[in-house]
Structure 1
Amino acid sequence: MDKKKDIIINEKKYSFLPGTTIKEALSKSNEIFDETCIICKEINQIDGNKKDILRFNTTKGLIDIYLHDNELTNLFRTNINIFNDIEFGWKTTDIISFGKKEFPINKSRITKDSASFNNNDVFLFFAGFSPENCHVGFSKSKHEGIYGVYKGAEDYFLKEYKLGRVIRGSHIIEKFDRDDKIIGSSFIKNLENQYVILTESDLQDIIFDGLKLYTYLKAFLINDIGPHLDHLYTVIDDNRLEVSETSNSFILSEGISIPLEVNNPLFRKRGAITIRNSGINKGSIYIYKRNAPFSIQHSVVGEVVKGLQLLSCARKGDSVLIDIHPKRIELLGKTQKRAEKICSERNIEVKRTGNNDDNAIVIMHRPATTMDILYLGKVEVYAIDPNELIKIKLYKEKAPKSIRYFKEVADMIYYELGVLKISDKLSSFILLDHVSEPKISNKHLDAENCPESIVKQGEVGITNSLRKLRGTIGIRLKEDEQYGPTGENFMGTNIIGKILTPLEVIKNKKEGDLIYFVCI
C-alpha cells in the first residue's frame, strides 16, 4: 500500500491516501471550513531556480504574484525583461491594465473566446488580438470577458491563460491611476511564510506531503465589552467576516455607522479585534495583521488566536470564516420553549415572565448581553402572545436610509425584533414614537421611495426632511390617493415597508400601547 501523505490543516496533522484532493481532505478532516469563504495554503519552500514568485515594483508599491505552472508562465520567465517600465493602460470595474509591449508569440495562440477570472488573477492579454499589443491585466472581480488571452496547447481554460494570483499588495491595485507605471519586474528566490488563496479549481488539486492549509479564524472576546458585543455579532453575521478594505496593517469589515462609547482603548497587537467608535468608518470591525499603537478611537473587543495566516491574503470582497467564542445567546424572537432549550444547552437557568406558554414569543430578557448572562448563569425572559407580534416586511433596497432610521428608533439595530409606542391614533393612520431615546438624528432623511399614485393600507412610512415633522413614523390603516402613513403628502413621505399581520391587531390597540415588530 502506498504511504499516506501528511498534511497540516489549521495547525493539526492529518494523513490521507495518495490521490486525495484538497477538497476531499478538508471534508474528511474535523476542521471547520466553508467553500464560499477563503481557504489559503502556505508557500514556504520555493525553488530559487523555478522562480515561482514574481514581483512587480510599481509607483504605488510592491506587488507579489504567485505564478501558475503553465506554458504562458514559462514564456514569461524567459521574457521578463520586456515587462520593465510599463505605462498605465486603462481601468474598468473589472480590470486594471498596464501596456503595451510586444510579446514573442504566434498570433494563432491568441484566442477570441471568452475567459473567466477571479479577483486578483493576473494575466496577459493582447489588444486587437495582436502580439504587438501585450498588456498585463489585474482582475478586480469575478467576471468573464473577451480580452484576447493566450491559448495554450492544452485546454486553455485550465489556468493556461493566467500568469498567477496576487499574494501581496492587492490593496494598492484599486489605487492605480493614469500617472502610475510598473517600474520593474523580478523574481523572489527565497520566500517564507507567504500564502495564496485557493480557487474552486485548486480544491481539486492532489495533496502532497507538507501541504499546509488554513480555513478559518478562531477568536475570543473580552468579557467586559458591553454593547460592543451585540455590535460585533451583528457585523459578523453567520460566522462570516466580509472584507471591505485591506492594508498592510489590518483588514476592515464595514459595520453599522453608529457612535459607540470608548471601551478598552488598549494597545492593538497582532490579531487584535477592534471596533472603531468614532470618526471615519465608525462602527467598523478591524483585525490587525501587525502591532499598532493605542488609539482612543478604537475599542479592543477580542483577539484572533488561530488562523492569522488568512489575514495576510484576504482581499476586498472576500469572506472569511470566523469561529467566535463565546457564541452569541440569541433569545429574542424565540418561543419560551426554544429559549429554554438554548439556555439549557449552555447550563443557564431560565425564569419565564409575561406570557408563560411554550409558544409565547420572547421580546425582552435580563441581563441583556451574552457576557452578562454567561457570568450570572441565569436569565429572565419576558414573552408575549405570538398573535401580538407584528410582522413587518421592510423595503431595504428602496429606502435604505429611512430603514436605518426606523431600526434605530425601534431599537432594532442589532436584532430583527423591536418596539415602538403608539403616540396618536386616527381612523386612517396611527403615529408611532420611540420607547428609548435614539442616537440617530432625523435631520437628514432625504426623500426616497415616495409614493406616486396610492398608499395601500398596512404600508409603513416616515416623514422626510421636506416636511417640518420629519422623522415621524406611521402606519396607514386605510388606503389613500393623497396622503401617506403619517398624514403628509406624497412628496414628504418615504415608504419603508408593509405590515403583514392582520391590521385588526393594531386597530384594537390604544394610544400609549407598545407595538412589538419582527422583520420578515
Structure 2
Amino acid sequence: MKVSVNGAEISLEDGLTLRDALDTAGVIAPEGATVGIVKGREEVERVTDSYWLNTTKGKLRIELIDTGLQAIWHEAVRQIPGLQVRWSDVAAVTFGPVSTRIAPSRRVEEYDRWEVAFGAGGFEADKSQIVFSRKRHSAAYGSPAENRGVFATVVGGKDLLGRLEIGDSILDVEPIVEWAALSDKMATQDLSLPLTDGMEIYTRFDVDLNESAPQGAEFFLAATRDGVFTVGGTSSSFASTDVLLGERIEFENREPRSEGAVTIRTSGRGLGRIFIYKADRTSIPGHSMVGKVRSGMDLVKLAESGMKLAVKVNPERIMLMGLPLKEAEEIAQVQGIGFEVEGHTGDDAVVVEQKPVTTMQILKERKVVVTSIPSDRMVAIELYDDLAPKTLDYFRHVVGLKEKPVGPLPVYFVYENTVLFKPAISATSYKEILPENKPDELVRAGEIGVTNQAAKNAGLVGVKLVDDTRYGPSGEKFLATNIVGRILEPDKLRSVREEETVYVLEVR
C-alpha cells in the first residue's frame, strides 16, 4: 500500500501501523504530540453567503442574513460596483443609488452597529441605498418592513467603516468561494494504529516567518521553542495558543488573516495570544501578522484544545543565551554570522545576553554581540509547573524566562543562609500572586520561594541554603510563601554579594 507522510509518498506492506510509516519516513513525533490522519478526501466548491466589498479605503466583508431580502441583494449585486457614498455621519454611511423592488416604509426603525440594510432615497425603490450602521441608532431610511430592511452584517474591515466619507466608492464586489474538503479525518497519538492504502499522515506543520515582523517572529519562536504548538483554543476559523498569554508584544505588520496566517494579538483582551487561521478573515489593528503556514494545514484544522502539535519553523531560532561561549561561537560560524564577545572569555564562559535579540535581525545584520559571564554566576533551576502555575506566570515574566532560556535575578539582600532577589521588572500591580504551594513543616535548602500577596513584600524572591522549619526562602512565614522550584546548584549562591546579578537557566 501507499501512504504519505508530511506530503512525501512512501510504500508499505499491507497491515503495517502508523509507527511503521513514521519509521520508514524517518520521522520522529515529539512525545505527546498529536498526529493527524486523512483517510480520504473530496473537495467541492461552495459559494458562501459572504461577500468582499472592495472600496477606495479597503475591503469590507459582509455576511448575508437568512431573510427574504437575500433575493433583493442577489438581484442588485451587479449594480454595486461604482456606487458612491451618498452621505456619511456618526451613525451610518450609505452607498447608492441602486434600483430594487423593495417596498419602502416611512417607519422609524432601530439599527445596531454593523448591520447592513436597504433604504430608499425619497422613499423610491429605484433610488435605493445600502446603509451601513456605525452605531446603535434610530432612523427612517425608507427601509422595507421585513427585518427593518437589514439583510447582512459587517464581519470584516470594521475599522475602515468609520473612515468612509463622501468621495469614496465601492470598486467591485466578489462572492467568497470556499473549497470545502469533504474528508474522513482523525487525530491520534496511537502509533499502533493500522493503516490503509491512500492515508495521508501529518506529524507536523511548517511555518515561514515574516521578515517585516522581527519581534513577533521571535515571539512565535519562543512560544514554540520545544518544537511544539500547544493548542489553547479553537473555533471554525482559527486554532490558538496561550503559552505567552499576557506578554506584551508590539504591533508590526498588518495583513489580511488568510488561511494559514499566523498572527499575535498585540492589544486588548487576549494580549499575547497566537492564532493560526483556518479560514480567511480581514486584517484588524490588534493582530500583527508574523508568519504563514507553508504545509501541514490539515493538522491545524484537526486540532482541538489541549492538543500538542509538532511545528517546524523557518528560519530556525538563533538563541545563544545559556550556551557555553565556545558552543555559541561555533553556531555563529556555521551560520556565517559575525561574532563579538563582551565580558568574560575564559573556558568557563557562558552567554547570558545577545544583541540583536531577535533571529530576524541577526540574520539581517549578519552579526551578533554576546555578553558572557563565568559559569559560577549562572545557576540552573527546576520549576514546579504542576504545583505553582500562577506564581510561575509571575516569576517567568519578571525574570524573562517566558521567552528566553536565561534571565537575570539581581541580589537584593544576603543574610545568614538566605539570599533575597528583587526582580528588575516590577509586575505586582498587574500580576496576581495568590497563596499557592505553601510549605507545611519544612523548607528544604535550595528551594525557591516567592512572597505572595499575604505579605507586604509581595513579589520578592528568595533561596535558603539550609533547611528551615520556621520561615520561607524569601524570609516570610509559610503562609506568605509560595514555593515555585529549586536551585540545582545551591552552592553557587554561597559567595554572591548584594547588588550583584545572578543569571538563572531554566532546565526544561
Q: Please state how far the C-alpha of 1:477 moved relative to its aligned partner.
A: 4.1
* Aligned match of 1:318: 307
Matched, 1:389 2:386: no
The match for 1:235 among 204, 217, 223 is 223
Q: Alpha carbon RMSD of aligned pairs, Å? A: 2.9
CA contact (8 A) 1:268 1:293 kept: yes
The match for 2:421 among 432, 444, 447 is 432
Q: Please state how far the C-alpha of 1:196 moved relative to its aligned partner.
A: 0.6
CA–CA distance in 1 between the matches of 2:187 and 2:499? 57
CA–CA distance in 1 between the matches of 2:488 and 2:403? 22
- 1:345 match: secondary structure: helix
* Aligned match of 1:19: 14
Q: Please state how far the C-alpha of 1:428 moved relative to its aligned partner.
A: 4.1
Q: Please state how far the C-alpha of 1:291 moved relative to its aligned partner.
A: 0.8
* Aligned match of 1:139: none
CA–CA distance in 2 between the matches of 1:360 and 1:19? 55
CA contact (8 A) 2:239 2:303 kept: yes
CA contact (8 A) 2:187 2:302 kept: no
CA–CA distance in 2 between the matches of 1:198 and 1:464? 41
Q: Please state how far the C-alpha of 1:8 moved relative to its aligned partner.
A: 4.9
Q: Please state how far the C-alpha of 1:474 moved relative to its aligned partner.
A: 2.0
Matched, 1:39 2:36: yes
* Aligned match of 2:495: 508
* Aligned match of 1:402: 391
- 1:43 match: secondary structure: strand
Q: Deviations over 1:167-219 (max 9, x none)?
A: xxxxxxxxxxxxxxxxxxxxxxxx854251264378532425xx544443221
Q: Please state how far the C-alpha of 1:25 moved relative to its aligned partner.
A: 4.6
Q: Deviations over 1:226-285 (max 9, x none)?
A: 433333123224322222222111112222222322232432111100112234433222
Q: Deviations over 1:462-516 (max 9, x none)?
A: 221111221122222454433222322222222223323243x323222211111
CA contact (8 A) 1:195 1:309 kept: no
* Aligned match of 1:465: 453
Change (3 A) 1:508 1:248: same
Q: Deviations over 1:32-75 (max 9, x none)?
A: 866943222252359xxxxxxxxxxxxxxxxxxxxxxxxxxxxx
CA–CA distance in 2 between the matches of 1:398 and 1:230? 29
The equivalences for 1:207-218 within 5 A come to 207-208=197-198, 211-218=199-206
Structure 1: segments with no counterpart, 5+ residues: 47-190
CA contact (8 A) 1:427 1:477 kept: no
Change (3 A) 1:338 1:193: farther
Change (3 A) 1:387 1:430: closer
* Aligned match of 1:65: none
CA–CA distance in 1 between the matches of 2:442 and 2:288? 47
Q: Please state how far the C-alpha of 1:387 moved relative to its aligned partner.
A: 2.1
The equivalences for 1:158-237 within 5 A come to 192-197=181-186, 199=188, 200=190, 203-208=193-198, 211-237=199-225
CA contact (8 A) 1:219 1:323 kept: yes
CA–CA distance in 2 between the matches of 1:383 and 1:42? 52
CA–CA distance in 2 between the matches of 1:425 and 1:269? 55
The match for 1:260 among 249, 259, 270 is 249
| Length-normalised TM-score, structure 2 | 0.65
The match for 1:28 among 6, 24, 29 is 24
* Aligned match of 2:505: 518
CA contact (8 A) 1:337 1:359 kept: no
| Length-normalised TM-score, structure 1 | 0.64
CA–CA distance in 1 between the matches of 2:411 and 2:257? 46
Change (3 A) 1:459 1:30: closer
Change (3 A) 1:409 1:314: closer
Q: Counterpart amino acid of 1:260?
A: I
Change (3 A) 1:391 1:33: closer
The match for 1:364 among 353, 357, 365 is 353
- 1:204 match: secondary structure: coil
The match for 1:333 among 301, 309, 322 is 322
Q: Please state how far the C-alpha of 1:304 moved relative to its aligned partner.
A: 0.7
Q: Counterpart amino acid of 1:16?
A: S
Matched, 1:481 2:469: yes
CA–CA distance in 1 between the matches of 2:387 and 2:373? 31
Counting aligned pairs with the same residue, the percent is: 29
CA–CA distance in 2 between the matches of 1:478 and 1:22? 53
The match for 2:408 among 412, 419, 431 is 419
Stretch moving more, 275-284 or 327-336: 275-284
CA–CA distance in 2 between the matches of 1:511 and 1:464? 23
- 2:372 match: secondary structure: strand
CA contact (8 A) 1:43 1:192 kept: no
CA contact (8 A) 1:348 1:379 kept: yes
Matched, 1:300 2:297: no
The match for 2:338 among 341, 345, 349 is 349
CA–CA distance in 2 between the matches of 1:384 and 1:29? 43
Q: Deviations over 1:19-38 (max 9, x none)?
A: 37464455434778669432
Matched, 1:448 2:440: no
Structure 2: segments with no counterpart, 5+ residues: 44-179
CA–CA distance in 2 between the matches of 1:324 and 1:354? 32
CA contact (8 A) 2:394 2:431 kept: no
Change (3 A) 1:192 1:252: closer
CA–CA distance in 2 between the matches of 1:26 and 1:478? 49
- 2:419 match: secondary structure: strand
Q: Deviations over 1:363-421 (max 9, x none)?
A: 11111111111111121222222222222232322222222212222222212321111
Change (3 A) 1:193 1:345: farther
CA–CA distance in 2 between the matches of 1:428 and 1:216? 48
Change (3 A) 1:468 1:340: same
CA contact (8 A) 1:443 1:470 kept: no
Change (3 A) 1:20 1:232: same
Q: Please state how far the C-alpha of 1:333 moved relative to its aligned partner.
A: 1.1
Change (3 A) 1:351 1:18: same
CA contact (8 A) 2:401 2:506 kept: no
